[in-house]
Amino acid sequence: MKFKDDFTWGVAAASYQIEGAAYEDGKGLSIWDMFCKTQGNVWEKNTGDMACDHYHKFKEDIAIMKELGVKAYRLSLSWPRIMPKGIGEVNEKGIEFYNELIDELIANDIEPYVTIFHWDYPYELYKKGHWLNTDSSAWFEEYTKVAVDRFSDRVKNWFTLNEPQCFIGLGYGQGEHAPGLKLSEYDLILMAHNTLLAHGKAVKIIRENSKLPAKIGYAPVGVVAIPNSDREEDVKAAEIAMFHMDEHTPVGSIFWSNSLWNDPVFLGKYPDEIIRRYKAYLPDTLEEDLKIISEELDYFGCNIYNGREVEMKNSVPVPAKRPYGYTITAFEWPITPKSLYWGPRFFYERYKKPVMITENGLSSRDVISLDGKVHDANRIDFLNRYLLELRKVSKEIPVEAYFQWSIMDNFEWAHGYKHRFGLVYVDYATQERTIKDSAYWYKTVIESNGENLD
């Protein structure tokens, strides 16, 4: 059994996590550049100043992708590299870099999938009020127009935003990510709305201005509930847990809710509980805004790494007790392969859009062995287990693509360089790349279209 013939096998990365060149060729500052300057924000005082030096080594990195048989690369654009002040002036050196990157991908038969925003928000716009400013969606609209005007003659696949749950929730709610704030829930709901409105305006800009027929998606976190058994009531419990919220749902959970971030986009409305709690804090233009937010998308993208087992008890969904010693990654995330079955299934049943897995992968403590190689058998096993579940669900619902996170080890946000997610090992002192065993394994998966999974 294999995936459908036109299935897309890809890899993913993000601008701030790999590019480096943080102060070169006219790039403006991002909130991550500034966040890294404060002691205690990032593990071991790490910064993204150089990261993987992809800005200078992109041809070498694309050659590795070519060697591995990768069909698509999900990259992100750095907003302040393209527009140093976030609006207004365009940095032609930044445009030149992405033009060369896109051209090199196409020359190597690798399809570019472009994410417009993956967290490196312009610092100049942060100073103007960031996502709290009612003009913030217009700023994003202007930036998107520049990207589409300059790249859509070769790029036809777009993602608007990556994981708004994280850049709003962790950046402005919990303070763990840039810019490191802990704002009230009333500020957060307005920021969420402005973010969703920015997404909708970006979709409209792409549709109206793309030089090639465009396909557009969105890449939120896929927060997955997994039935603890095959019992019908447990399946129902998991579905409820993924989408339902009520007066008992804590504020912290609301801002990680699948429904908050997806119902407005795909169903054109906020969940009832959001309206009950926060309508007074949302704009008077809510109904008009929702029409923009729900601009038609071509697929449902989601980043899925794990899930939580759920069961029904006394007609209420509750988390199931995990056994002692359940398996975890180096990030201490649970290893739950079935999340790549139940997540896509539940999302498709609710939103009726073909699914793309825009991120999935393993954080591990990889090392270069004495033989000069990286023997990451744990990553191979992880990916094998997850992809078996994705292959299973692909026979039941339309699954279009899988993007492994990540093509290379990189700057893992507040964790710096502690974690390694890559198929390619990066020595950050020398910038030497070493292709891991898992990368060669992934190559065989691509070549067989998943038929060799077992």
Distances, alpha carbon 30 to alpha carbons 84, 160, 185, 200, 239, in Å: 9, 18, 24, 23, 38
Can you tell me the distance from the alpha carbon of 229 to that of 231, in angstroms, rounded to the nearest whole number?
5
Edge-to-edge strands, sheet with 111-117: 215-219, 157-162, 111-117, 72-76, 8-12, 399-405, 355-359, 300-303
pLDDT tens for the chain, 454 residues long, are 999 999 999 999 999 999 999 999 999 999 999 999 999 999 999 999 999 999 999 999 999 999 999 999 999 999 999 999 999 999 999 999 999 999 999 999 999 999 999 999 999 999 999 999 999 999 999 999 999 999 999 999 999 999 999 999 999 999 999 999 999 999 999 999 999 999 999 999 999 999 999 999 999 999 999 999 999 999 999 999 999 999 999 999 999 999 999 999 999 999 999 999 999 999 999 999 999 999 999 999 999 999 999 999 999 999 999 999 999 999 999 999 999 999 999 999 999 999 999 999 999 999 999 999 999 999 999 999 999 999 999 999 999 999 999 999 999 999 999 999 999 999 999 999 999 999 999 999 999 999 999 9
> Nearest 10 degrees: CA dihedral of 164, 170, 173, 178?
-100
Give the CATH number of the domain where residue 56 resides: 3.20.20.80
Distances, alpha carbon 358 to alpha carbons 28, 75, 125, 216, 253, in Å: 27, 11, 27, 13, 23
**DSSP conformational letter for 74:** E
Can you tell me the distance from the alpha carbon of 32 to that of 441, in angstroms, rounded to the nearest whole number?
34
- Looking at residue 370, what is its pLDDT? 98
118 annotated among ligand-binding-site residues:
yes
Residues 288-302: tens digit of each pLDDT: 999 999 999 999 999
CA angle 358, 309, 362 (to 5 degrees): 40
CA angle 419, 375, 73 (to 5 degrees): 60
45: Cβ contacts below 8 Å, ≥ 6 apart: 39, 416
Can you tell me the distance from the alpha carbon of 341 to that of 393, in angstroms, rounded to the nearest whole number?
5
43 annotated among ligand-binding-site residues:
no
| Residue 2 domain-assigned (yes or no) | no
Can you tell me the distance from the alpha carbon of 158 to that of 391, in angstroms, rounded to the nearest whole number?
24
405 annotated among ligand-binding-site residues:
yes
Distances, alpha carbon 39 to alpha carbons 36, 183, 184, 331, 359, in Å: 7, 21, 25, 22, 30
- Looking at residue 146, what is its pLDDT? 99
Residues 353-410: tens digit of each pLDDT: 999 999 999 999 999 999 999 999 999 999 999 999 999 999 999 999 999 999 999 9
Q: Are 294 and 203 in contact (CB under 8 A)?
A: no
| Residue 78 domain-assigned (yes or no) | yes
Range of the domain at 234: 8-448
| Residue 337 domain-assigned (yes or no) | yes
Q: Is 302 helix (H, G, I), strand (E, B) or coil?
A: strand
Q: Is 160 helix (H, G, I), strand (E, B) or coil?
A: strand
Q: Are 252 and 341 in contact (CB under 8 A)?
A: no
| Residue 454 domain-assigned (yes or no) | no
| Residue 423 domain-assigned (yes or no) | yes
Q: Is 208 helix (H, G, I), strand (E, B) or coil?
A: helix
Q: Which of 147, 191, 195, 200 lies closest to 173, judged by CA?
A: 191
- Looking at residue 104, what is its pLDDT? 99
Q: Which of 426, 412, 242 lies closest to 343, judged by CA?
A: 242
Active-site amino acid positions: 163, 359
What rounded mean pLDDT belongs to the chain? 98
Can you tell me the distance from the alpha carbon of 31 to that of 180, in angstroms, rounded to the nearest whole number?
9
Tally of structural domains, the chain: 1
**DSSP conformational letter for 263:** I
The pTM assigned to this predicted structure is 0.98
261 annotated among ligand-binding-site residues:
no
199 annotated among ligand-binding-site residues:
no
| Residue 74 domain-assigned (yes or no) | yes
Q: Which of 154, 188, 149 lies closest to 75, judged by CA?
A: 154
Give the 3-state secondary structure of 313-366. Answer: ECCEEEECCCCCCCCECCCCCECCCCHHHHHHHHHHHHHCCCEEEEECCCCECC
119 annotated among ligand-binding-site residues:
no
- Looking at residue 173, what is its pLDDT? 97
| Residue 3 domain-assigned (yes or no) | no
| Residue 1 domain-assigned (yes or no) | no
Residues 330-344: tens digit of each pLDDT: 999 999 999 999 999
Q: Which of 123, 274, 258, 139 lies closest to 197, judged by CA?
A: 139
99 annotated among ligand-binding-site residues:
no
